[in-house]
Chains A and B, each alone.
Chain A
Amino acid sequence: MGKTLCWILPLINLTENLSACPLCRAQVAAVIYSQAFGINLLLVLLPIPVLAALAVGIYRADELMGLAGKGR
């Protein structure tokens, strides 16, 4: 956890300074990096591991059922 924070905090600082226009940069950063950052990240990324798990599951099921013609 400590090692993760060591690189993620400078990255957040970098993106805060590079992103958004100077007029609203602080406001945008305040909304993005609020206490809800973690939950928002989870909400946004949730479909990806679900899709990856489904892909692996379908592939394994296909292997078991022999539909892919492997080895034929």
Chain B
Amino acid sequence: MSSGLLIGAGLGGFVDGIVFHQILQWHHMLSSMFPPNNLVNLKVNMFWDGIFHSAVWVMTAAGLALLWRAGQRRDVPWSGKTFLGSLMVGWGLFNLVEGLLDHQFLGIHHVVEVAAHQAAWDAVFLLFGAGMLLGGFGFIFKGRGDKISRGGG
């Protein structure tokens, strides 16, 4: 579960970074502090985006290491439902933690910086996270009965 949580949070972080920061360019890590309305501010934001995504990469790598270790243990059931649920919980936690910390409390950026209804977009981001969290726990509970050990034996 812990590996799934970390990998799931990493997946959430990369989807946020790739889709919202790079493809849609709706926000950057510090876009409320350095509005990307000129080249210098855009490059400053790109630097801090890189720092954040480096940390997300490390978190994902840690999750992979934990997954490898779990795979070597015979007492850990190799449950697809549990792993999928953990990934979803991790992604949901990313949205909730990053959404509450960065968007609401610290205000260093919002989901859509230039939107007329910034709060609505922030709320959707949080709701998606909550949905992933609940769905993930649903899968985890469903996987409780799985007793498949690694290799299917």
Q: Is the CB of A28 within 8 A of B43?
A: yes
Is B30 among interface residues, defined by CB-CB distance under 8 A?
A: yes
Considering the complex, give the chain A residue whose CB is closest to the CB of B94: A51
Bound complex: CA A45 to CA B56 (Å): 9
Is B116 among interface residues, defined by CB-CB distance under 8 A?
A: no
The main secondary structure of chain B at its interface with chain A is helix
Interface residues on A, range: 20 to 34
Is B65 among interface residues, defined by CB-CB distance under 8 A?
A: no
Q: In residues 23-72 of chain A, which contact B (Cβ within 8 Å)?
A: 24, 27-28, 31-32, 40-41, 43-48, 50-52, 54-56, 58-59, 62, 67-72
With A28-B40, A31-B40, A51-B97 already in contact, the answer to whether A43 and B30 are too (CB < 8 A) is: yes
Contact indicator per residue, chain A 13-31, by CB within 8 Å of chain B (1) or not (0) = 0000001100010011001
Bound complex: CA A50 to CA B100 (Å): 12
With A55-B2, A68-B1 already in contact, the answer to whether A44 and B29 are too (CB < 8 A) is: yes
Q: Is the CB of A69 within 8 A of B144?
A: yes
Contact indicator per residue, chain B 51-76, by CB within 8 Å of chain A (1) or not (0) = 11001100100100000000000011
B78 to chain A, nearest CB (A): 11
Which residues from B are CB-within-8-Å of A67?
140-141, 144
With A59-B2, A67-B141 already in contact, the answer to whether A51 and B51 are too (CB < 8 A) is: no
Q: Is the CB of B51 within 8 A of A31?
A: no
B53 to chain A, nearest CB (A): 10
Considering the complex, give the chain B residue whose CB is closest to the CB of A62: B1
Which residues from B are CB-within-8-Å of A44?
29-30, 48, 51-52, 108
13 A-B pairs in the complex with CB atoms less than 8 angstroms apart:
A19-B47, A28-B44, A41-B51, A43-B102, A44-B29, A50-B97, A51-B9, A54-B97, A55-B2, A67-B141, A68-B76, A69-B145, A72-B77
> Could you tell me which A residues sit within 8 Å of B by CB distance?
19-20, 24, 27-28, 31-32, 40-41, 43-48, 50-52, 54-56, 58-59, 62, 67-72
